[in-house]
Structure 1
Amino acid sequence: MTDISLWHAVGRNRRDRPALAADIDADLAIIGGGFAGLSTALHAAERGVSVVVLEAEIIAWGATGRNAGFVVPNFAKMDPDNINAALGAERGERLNTFVAGSGELVFDLIKRHSIECSAQQSGWIQPAHSAAAFAKVKSRAGQWAKRGRPAVILDECEIETTTGAKGYSGGWTDRSGGLLNPVEYARGLADAAEAAGARIFERSPVTTIARQADGYRLATTNGSVRAGKVFIATNAYGQAPKPELAKTYFPLKVFQIATEPLPREIRERLLPGNQCVSDTRRNLFTFRFDADNRLISGGMHIFGPGADERVPRTIHRRLKELLELADIPPIAYSWSGMAAVEPDFLPHLVDLGPGLIAGFACNGRGIAPTTAMGNVLADWATGADPDSLPIPFAPPQQIPLHGMMKHAPNMLLPWSMLRDKLDESGA
């Protein structure tokens, strides 16, 4: 297990940015140099807002640089009709519209700012691991199609042809999704934000956030920022200035691997259209290829010693079994990252006081909704009432018994794996 991801290892466009070493002023201060923070910086700076971004490490160091690079413009667990039932039709449809256009937003930004990140709007595919799961995804695809989305149901034969994987009952695809190199994408967003006037500082962890009459003062080791508004965009990383945030989500450690490049004849069988895949299993199975034909997949782990060595081997073995790869190439890179999962699996804006917001939009769908969150928060930075935004906005909602419940995703993994097997057997 390495401390950096494949994307950091192969990245070409890395350039150092200075640490904050002075006391400066801004309209908007952003904590965190990932997708959400950088997208907010870009969109706000383009609207004339004075923006400062403070990153504790380097751009894309956290979850942004440790995911699989999937662009998925929908929700991990909730379907549009469920969201309307939970939030009401008006607010629900606003949130549905927000996420539905998030894929197009990502690829439009890439095109508009000439970001070189191996991006392909080739589509995202969700195969169904059982007949019951297929019934659910047909309903899901139908709900998105009614809202004008490029959602297409695929039968058993079409899924096998499209993915190269056997044994699925069918599935669906959202053709506005796709894939990219997440580190290069984040670096491109940072370059575009700076070109629009934003100032970005690396290796500048925020130690305190102090309320002042005209906004806030953010202190770092060697400097400070005075800003009228503050956006905390650290997701599951770095909540030190506001520790109460850590109890509002489930921290989920996710492992990823990338194999050595596959032989051409095998590569041509799997994902000939170069889409990305995440299926309906509770113990999620994902796969895609990078620009050099490395096969990439991820997974969770059950508690126990040696996970950093054990889990990558398990993911590798699963790829071999589910994709029928007798001679699968060895692991070339393995890494892990922390995701923030909300109890309702929806994006959230957290009200921490006048002009102080934290944002959580991942829930296993990092790139698209966090990029879209930045566009929304630029509205807030230019005067919009946060209650008018499409993302739910409320004070911190701490999870009861968080000290124990935060381990639930990992503790429940064996039960999830058993339920997946029962589904597949039709029991």
Structure 2
Amino acid sequence: MTGSGLPRSLWAATACAAPPYAEIRNRLPAGSPTSADVVVIGGGYTGLSTALHLALAGRSVILAEAAEPGWGASGRNGGQVIAGLKTPLRELAAIFGDDRACAITVNMGGSADLVFALIERYRMDCQAGRGGWLQAAHGPKPYRDIVLPRYEQWRGLGVAARLLDRDQMAAAIGSSAPAYHGAWHDPRGGVLQPLSYARELARAAIAEGAVIHAQMPVRALRRQGETWQVTTDAGVLRANQVVLATNAYGGVGRAELWPGLARAVIPVTSFQMATQPLPAAFDHILPAGMGVTDSRRLLLYFRRDHTGRLVMGGRSPVEDDPALADALPLQRAIRRLFPELGLPSPEFVWSGKVAITRDRLPHIHMPAEGLWVFQGCNGRGVAMCTMMGRMLADLAAGMAPGEVPFPVTAPDAFPLHGLRRLGVFALSQYYRLLDRLESWGST
């Protein structure tokens, strides 16, 4: 753990300073409001974006975070800004119909634009670079089934996407060993320092009038008449509307705040390592501002940070608190992609939870009047959660669900959720086998 209470990671070591939450709280007048139009529970990207957009809409808002904003997945992810959903338009159309699917796709396709617009508007100190995002195919089949259709979808929607063959992909990432069959490049994407972005979202929300409380775990949530009561260690908050945005960390350190929500997601651990800053001789590797994610089911994702370190992420070999020795699979992946680096020693290793839903889609739920819930980043949180926060703010501010360009649905529980750890392990082994079989044709 770092001195701030954050798990040790590259992001905790290099982030901008957090807003002085304790000082802000102490400066509040005695008897300061314990009620607001909206109480937001959870200080990740979704909750922070919700608070910011509610404040911009003129609503009073209090955000309660159990640790500090960015403590969970928002401060531990790979920092890749990826536009749009993983689910392609044709599959969304089969679920929601053509018109609704098109509205969802176009709206979420603007999520990266929203992130970079907020960064510019508030001059956020989060080391953002907009060099685009690459989705790399680990074999001919994923190139044909995943990469090519997504390229064609976004080209058809007006995005200046590019298709890369094997050699072009290797050149784009600076690899001397073409390890991917090809890729598509999305110019809307980029990278940032994820913990800094969370802290800067908090700073922006505070500047616009939101009240953000760190170190304030929520213990209970109940409706009393027309008002919600949110019980915290510091007292009871009251609001007409509540936004619950704890996502994969909804059960961390507390009982489930609303029945049934925990069964609708499976928290899966993702693992990352960062090297020492690479010497100038390797500046050709992963130009600044570019993020890469491959098409494996147990995917790899990688980028350079603002210090020149190479950051590689993938499926975690352990649940929590990884050791340096756990990075060996990621070191081998680096050697495969960039042979000249060999097996680079990790300077940092860390992990975090990703909330996976049954259909791999994010979800907005309204399980009770005036209660809005977000679940399911599914590994694409930076841009998507920022956009989800804006839509949740619209809903909490009074917009009708049918007017929001995303469906409001009921939670869909995983069957046999209590056996999730065994199921995740078995599925991981099966996915690993499929990924290896599909990779054979790419070498």
- TM-score, normalised with respect to structure 1: 0.94
Alpha-carbon shift at residue 97 of structure 1 (Å): 1.5
Which residue of structure 2 aligns with residue 242 of structure 1? 258
Q: Distance in 1 between matches of 2:424 and 2:413?
A: 17
Aligned to 1:207, the other structure's residue is in SS state: strand
Cα distance, 1:272 vs structure 2: 2.7
Q: Name the structure 1 match of 2:173.
A: 163
Question: Is the aligned partner of 1:118 residue 2:130?
Answer: no
Name 2:11's counterpart in structure 1: 7
After TM superposition, the structure 1 = structure 2 runs for residues 90-169 of structure 1, keeping only pairs within 5 Å, are 90-136=99-145, 137-165=147-175, 166-169=178-181
Deviation at 1:322, TM superposition (A): 2.7
Note if 1:196 corresponds to 2:208: yes
Matches within 5 A, 1:199-214: 199-214=211-226
Match of 2:281 in 1: 265
- SS of the aligned residue for 1:350 comes to strand
Q: From the superposition, tell whether residues 175 and 230 of structure 1 become closer, same or farther in structure 2 (CA, over 3 Å).
A: same
Larger CA deviation: 223-232 vs 352-361: 352-361
* Equivalent position of 1:256 in the other structure: 272
Greater displacement, 375-384 / 195-204:
375-384
In structure 2, the partner of 1:85 is 94
- In the TM superposition, residue 361 of structure 1 has moved relative to its aligned partner by 4.4
Find the partner of 2:354 among 339, 345, 357: 339
Q: Name the CA distance, whole Å, in 1 between partners of 2:173 and 2:127.
A: 20
Contact kept? 2:41, 2:218, Cα under 8 Å = yes
8 Å CA contact retained: 1:30, 1:41: yes
- 1:356 and 1:202 map into 2 onto residues whose CA distance is 21
- In 1, the alpha carbon distance for the partners of 2:278 and 2:324 equals 22
Q: Does 1:294 align with 2:338?
A: no
Alignment of 1:249-398 (within 5 A): 249-268=265-284, 270-272=285-287, 274-301=289-316, 308=323, 310-398=325-413
Distance 2:93 2:324 in 1: 43
Q: Structure 2, unaligned stretches of length 5 or more?
A: none
* Greater Cα shift, 349-358 or 391-400: 391-400
Q: Show the counterpart of 2:242.
A: 230
Is 1:172–2:190 an aligned residue pair?
Answer: no
Aligned residue pairs, count: 425
Q: Which residue in the other structure is 1:17 paired with?
A: 21
SS of 2:154's partner is: helix
Any idea what SS the aligned residue of 1:261 has?
coil
Match of residue 53 from structure 1: 63
Output the aligned Cα RMSD: 2.1
Higher alpha-carbon deviation: 361-370 or 378-387 = 378-387
CA contact (8 A) 1:162 1:273 kept: no
Alpha-carbon distance in structure 1 between the residues aligned to 2:191 and 2:322: 27
- Give distance in 2, aligned partners of 1:84 and 1:396: 20
Q: Alpha-carbon deviation of 1:167?
A: 2.5
SS at structure 2 position matched to 1:420: helix
The Cα of 1:407 is off from its aligned counterpart by 4.2
Q: CA deviation at 1:315?
A: 1.4
Deviates more, 1:14-23 or 1:287-296: 14-23
1:382 is displaced (CA, Å) by 1.9
- Percent of paired sites with the same residue: 38
Contact map agreement 1:119 1:178 (CA 8 A) in 2 = yes
Structure 1: gaps of 5 or more residues: none
CA gap of 1:330–1:308, structure 2 versus 1, over 3 A, is closer
TM-score between both structures, scaled by the size of structure 2: 0.91
1:28 pairs with 2:38:
yes
Q: What secondary structure does 1:197 align onto?
A: coil
Whether the 8 Å contact between 1:302 and 1:413 is mirrored in structure 2 is no
Assess, with a 3 A threshold, how the Cα gap between structure 1 residues 370 and 407 changes in structure 2: closer, same or farther: farther
Matched, 1:69 2:79: yes
Aligned-pair distance for 1:324? 1.4
1:48-83 deviation per Cα after TM superposition (whole angstroms, max 9, x unaligned):
01010000001100010010100011223x211111
Q: Give the aligned residue type for 1:255.
A: F
Taking the aligned partners of 2:247 and 2:263, their CA distance within structure 1 comes to: 12
AA at the equivalent of 1:231: V
Aligned residue number for residue 193 of structure 2: 181
Q: Hey, what's the Cα distance between the residues in 1 that align with 2:309 and 2:320?
A: 28
